[in-house]
């Protein structure tokens, strides 16, 4: 390395923001596990919130629509706010499925949900503005860093299904510019109960009445990208559906990636108040974060095909639920046998939340001094890679983990449970 650079230890070589940006711990962990697997180690990698296409392929109709769109030459720039064909279909879909009314000008298409979330932050937040979000939480800490926001993190626990309440938010609401909410929640797979979300909505509305004409509004970023993946009697609730007066203050995050196993297709969307969506469009236009035109045309065709959408979900949702339920029942059985483990019943998304309170446990060979030792023990001794809630902003000693089932072959569940049991059988009381 150039000596001039190595001698400039006290000087940022890039922007202060870039120099201090923390890489994704989930991706880092996933890469480490994949390297071990390539070296021949047998590890079930249940870290990344993605899908194995051999198990969960995208809908076959969507595949054909994408191929057809390329054959028809849809390879030039798309419209800045997304192809009208897709925005029109989404306007109808949102109305039909969520009973919400948003025009095509209040909908914006992007290359997945990440650019959408980034642009919400950049549109709403000035440097120094405060953002409230609960932890564990997916990536809000990173988006705060990217937008120079001050984060107000509310660590909530299993007693409230890891979902924030109005009472958690109320002490900070007057100083905040945005509240970032997610339901179904990543990483926990839990959802807002109706009354819990309604109380938050009423709090936000009252605060905006107080601010009117005096202060920037208080907005809600509502990430609901997993909303169609709920199980049993669990229902999805969202802010404007509960309190229509909030429509000017809620920006939704949604997309194709999770509910149709299409993470690599890169079609996401947002809908919300026009004055916010229009500014987001301008930001994303400068970034160039458009979803490819062919994929947009294909998504419009697919989302407009009610039979294709229904048939896929009729197959997909039970397959995800089967994996989550199988793991939950197995882990709960181990808990009932007095093994040191706990687990939250699955409600939605592709995640199961489990607790491994093994810090301080000993075997004949080692002692698990830190929670990071527990994570390593799970990998090395149990052959299972899962993500600690620390990676989602929870405290370093949190014993809770996210288990992702998008790459899980259901026939491997008994072996995973047996491997966990063998790992715990090594503990010395």
Distance between CA 25 and CA 27 in Å, rounded? Answer: 6
From first to last of the 429 residues of the chain, give the pLDDT tens digit. Answer: 454 555 555 677 898 888 888 877 777 777 788 888 788 788 899 998 899 999 999 999 999 999 999 999 999 999 999 999 999 999 999 999 999 999 999 999 999 999 999 999 999 999 999 999 999 999 899 999 999 999 999 999 999 999 999 999 999 999 999 999 999 999 999 999 999 999 999 999 999 999 998 889 999 999 999 999 999 999 999 999 999 999 999 999 999 999 999 999 999 999 999 999 999 999 999 999 999 999 999 999 999 999 999 999 999 999 999 999 999 999 999 999 999 999 999 999 999 999 999 999 999 999 999 999 999 999 999 999 999 999 998 888 899 999 999 999 999 999 999 999 999 999 987
Indicate the pairing of strand 150-155 with strand 130-135: parallel
Single out the residue of 345, 342, 314 nearest to residue 400, CA to CA.
342
Distance between CA 350 and CA 321 in Å, rounded? Answer: 8
Rounded to 5 degrees, what are φ and ψ at 136?
A: -70, 145
Single out the residue of 220, 250, 224 nearest to residue 235, CA to CA.
224
What is the model's pLDDT at position 42? 85
Instruction: List b or e across 145-162, with b for residues whose CB sees 16 or more CB atoms inside 10 angstroms.
Output: bbbebebbbbbbeeeebb
Distance between CA 296 and CA 302 in Å, rounded? Answer: 10
- What CA–CA distances, in Å, run from 165 to 6, 31, 181? 48, 35, 11
**222 with 239: CB under 8 angstroms?**
yes
DSSP label of 11: S
pLDDT single digits (tens) 155-210: 999 999 999 999 999 999 999 999 999 999 999 999 999 999 999 999 999 999 99
Rounded to 5 degrees, what are φ and ψ at 351?
A: -125, 145
CATH class, domain 60-309, is alpha beta
Distance between CA 334 and CA 419 in Å, rounded? Answer: 12
20: buried, middle or exposed (CB in 10 Å: 19+, 13-18, 0-12)? exposed
Annotation: CATH topology of 3-41+314-425: 3.90.1150
Distance between CA 415 and CA 353 in Å, rounded? Answer: 19
What is the model's pLDDT at position 1? 47
Distance between CA 81 and CA 87 in Å, rounded? Answer: 9
Q: List the domain boundaries for the chain.
A: 3-41+314-425, 60-309
Instruction: List b or e across 179-209, with b for residues whose CB sees 16 or more CB atoms inside 10 angstroms.
Output: bbbbbbbbbbbbbbbeebbbbbbebbbebbe
**124 with 219: CB under 8 angstroms?**
yes
Rounded to 5 degrees, what are φ and ψ at 279?
A: -70, -35
Distance between CA 302 and CA 69 in Å, rounded? Answer: 12
Q: Quote the pTM value.
A: 0.93
């Amino acid at each position: 390395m150039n000596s001039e650079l190595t001698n400039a230890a006290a000087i940022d070589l890039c922007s202060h923001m870039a120099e201090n940006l923390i890489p994704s711990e989930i991706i880092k962990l996933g890469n480490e596990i994949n390297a071990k697997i390539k070296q021949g180690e047998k590890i079930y990698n249940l870290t990344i919130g993605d899908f194995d296409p051999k198990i969960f392929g995208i809908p076959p109709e969507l595949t054909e629509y994408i191929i057809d769109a390329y054959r028809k030459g849809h390879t030039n720039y798309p419209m800045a706010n997304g192809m009208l064909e897709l925005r029109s279909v989404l306007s109808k879909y949102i109305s039909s499925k969520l009973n919400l009314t948003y025009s095509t000008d209040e909908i914006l298409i992007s290359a997945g949900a990440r650019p959408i979330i980034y642009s919400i932050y950049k549109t709403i937040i000035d440097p120094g503005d405060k953002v409230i979000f609960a932890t564990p939480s997916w990536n809000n800490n990173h988006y705060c860093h990217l937008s120079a926001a001050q984060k107000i993190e509310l660590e909530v626990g299993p007693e409230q299904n890891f979902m924030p309440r109005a009472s958690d938010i109320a002490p900070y609401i007057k100083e905040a510019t945005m509240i970032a909410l997610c339901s179904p929640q990543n990483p926990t797979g839990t959802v807002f109960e109706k009354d819990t979300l309604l109380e938050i909505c009423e709090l936000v509305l009252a605060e905006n009445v107080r601010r009117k004409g005096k202060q920037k509004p208080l907005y809600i970023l509502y990430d609901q990208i997993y909303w169609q993946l709920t199980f049993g009697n669990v229902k999805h609730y969202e802010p404007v559906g509960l309190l229509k007066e909030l429509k000017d203050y809620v920006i939704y995050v949604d997309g194709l990636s999770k509910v149709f196993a299409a993470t690599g297709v890169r079609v996401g969307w947002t809908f919300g108040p026009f004055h916010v969506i229009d500014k987001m469009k301008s930001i994303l236009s400068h970034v160039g974060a458009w979803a490819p035109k062919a994929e947009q045309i294909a998504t419009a065709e697919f989302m407009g095909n009610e039979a294709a959408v229904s048939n896929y979900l009729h197959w997909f949702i039970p397959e995800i639920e089967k994996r989550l339920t199988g793991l939950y029942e197995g882990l709960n059985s181990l808990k009932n046998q007095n093994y040191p483990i706990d687990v939250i019943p699955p409600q939605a998304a592709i995640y199961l939340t489990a607790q491994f309170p093994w810090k301080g446990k000993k075997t004949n060979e080692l002692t698990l001094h830190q929670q990071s030792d527990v994570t390593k023990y799970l990998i090395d001794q149990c052959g299972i890679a899962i993500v600690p809630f620390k990676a989602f902003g929870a405290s370093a000693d949190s014993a809770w983990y996210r288990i992702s089932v998008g790459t899980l072959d259901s026939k491997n569940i008994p072996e995973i449970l047996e491997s966990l049991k063998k790992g715990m059988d090594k503990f010395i009381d």
